[in-house]
Amino acid sequence: METLILVGTLVIELAICVYSIATKQNRSMIKSLMRIAIFIGFMMLILGKVVVWDLTWGLFQGLLFILAFKEIVALLRKQKQTPRYKTFSMIWKFFLLALTIVVTLVPVLLFPQHRLPQVTSPYAVATSTYSYVDKNRIEEFTDQDDNRFVNVEFWYPEQADGTYPLLMFSHGAYGIKASNSSTYTELASHGYVIVSIDHPYHSFYTFSEDGKIVTVNPEYMREVNNANKAGIYSLGEYFELTQKWMKLRTDDMNFVMDTIREKAGHGEDSVYKLIDTQKIGVFGHSMGGAASVALSRERHDIDAVVNIDAPFFSELVYDEVTNEISAKSEPYTIPLLNIYSDDVWKQLDNSPSYIANKISNKNFIGAYTVHFKGAKHLSLTDLPLFSPILTYLLQGGKADINKYYAIETQNEIILHFFDYALKNKGQFVPKVTY
């Protein structure tokens, strides 16, 4: 729809330009009526729900209004003299206006309207956001002695009756807490309370309750980008970086988990009264998945883990003498589901980062592992739905899997896994490849 509107508007403006050149007129009633008709037509698309109104349409709608208003004024005014016609000026104005139209539509092209993934339960879902301040930690990304804060958002059943298992989500490297909101919605509609964390300075951006905005730390971005390039870091340096990232992530998750446990069961109108702290699961995408596995090693109250496309950084050991990375030998006993895209699947047997993820690793013999064939790393998030262009640029190409099939199937698998592991509902027998 966005592309059709862009092309249609440019074609009409080109027709106006050609008509003006052919008739050698700067102003004409036909030109004015066509501009007014464009604005009215766009408003009809909005009122008819063909175009789903969003702030991303604001610049384009404003431009159409200005052009239409200008033409209305031109029609109402009596021209004392006809403006001098210049072909070059007419062509220049057309290209300038065409560029303006493209610019005003950039937000819509980056974030086009789309349908939301299917939610299989009819029950409504509510959300709420909070900012927690950790008085035991000083923020390491600033020069001030500020306490570390963490912003969280909850998804939970709107018509709640009783208590529900708690699921904690951690986003990927410079992701955001809403990265898998369709997954949270699906889970919450089936009777779960989900809390998703923004890790400040690791997330692309995060908003606090007091209006404070924090964006991703440039040095952290350089570390992650360089870690994915050969020859930038030594093996020892790479290992130290991964452990540093894991510590910050798990410290945030431990803090949030402890805060929620302290508040659980209190407040008649709060989300905390809905939480069953005896049934807890954690999951995350990419670096967040790695942090979820790491957290489950640290805590004894976690009953199930889902790792989405992440290496087990917490399971690695570095030997300075041999300059080698190996996997820990401690058995993993918590129910674990691994979900992999092609990007990670092809690295399981040949990358030091994924040496602990190997399916042959006997310490994870009880883990469930599924592979989405044709999927790329971001296919396992909601980003391909919200912004196909950004997804293409960030992951270096288009995935060979239907984006709705990928996220909806993944949501279904995760729901069945947590139902099995936390609610003792049915059996969990996923396919190896989807």
Distances (CA, A) of 335 to 168, 215, 303, 388, 400: 15, 34, 7, 34, 30
Whole-angstrom Cα distance, residue 168 to residue 282? 5
434 residues of the chain, pLDDT tens digit each? 888 888 888 888 888 788 777 777 766 778 888 888 888 888 888 888 888 878 888 898 899 999 888 888 877 876 655 566 677 777 888 888 889 999 999 888 888 888 888 899 988 999 999 999 999 999 999 888 889 999 999 999 998 788 999 999 999 999 999 999 999 999 999 999 999 999 999 999 999 988 889 999 999 999 999 998 888 999 999 999 999 999 999 999 999 999 999 998 776 668 999 999 999 999 999 999 999 999 999 999 999 999 999 999 999 999 999 999 999 999 999 999 999 999 999 999 889 899 999 999 999 999 999 999 999 999 999 999 989 998 999 888 999 999 999 999 999 999 999 999 999 998 999 999 99
| Nearest-10 crossing angle of helices 235-263, 218-227 | 130
3-state helix, strand, coil in the chain (%, to 5): 45, 20, 35
* Sign, Cα dihedral of 302, 304, 307, 311: positive
Residue 337, helix vs strand vs coil: strand
Task: Please name the helix (run of DSSP H) or strand (run of DSSP E) that holds residue 344, with its range, or none.
Answer: helix 342-345
- State the pLDDT at residue 341: 97
Residue 316, helix vs strand vs coil: strand
Q: Cβ(382)–Cβ(406) under 8 Å?
A: no
- State the pLDDT at residue 1: 80
Structure tokens at 321: 């003498």
- State the pLDDT at residue 16: 79
- State the pLDDT at residue 312: 97
Q: Cβ(174)–Cβ(165) under 8 Å?
A: no
Which of 357, 133, 137 has the alpha carbon at shortest distance from 247?
137
Q: Cβ(351)–Cβ(395) under 8 Å?
A: no
- State the pLDDT at residue 17: 80
Exposure letters 230-251 (e unless 16+ CB within 10 A, then b): eeeeeeeebbebbeebbebbbb
- State the pLDDT at residue 88: 77
Give the pairing type, strands 336-340 and 316-319.
unpaired
Enter the pTM of the model. Answer: 0.87
Show the CA angle centred on residue 75, arms to residues 74 and 79, nearest 5°.
65
Q: Cβ(318)–Cβ(235) under 8 Å?
A: yes
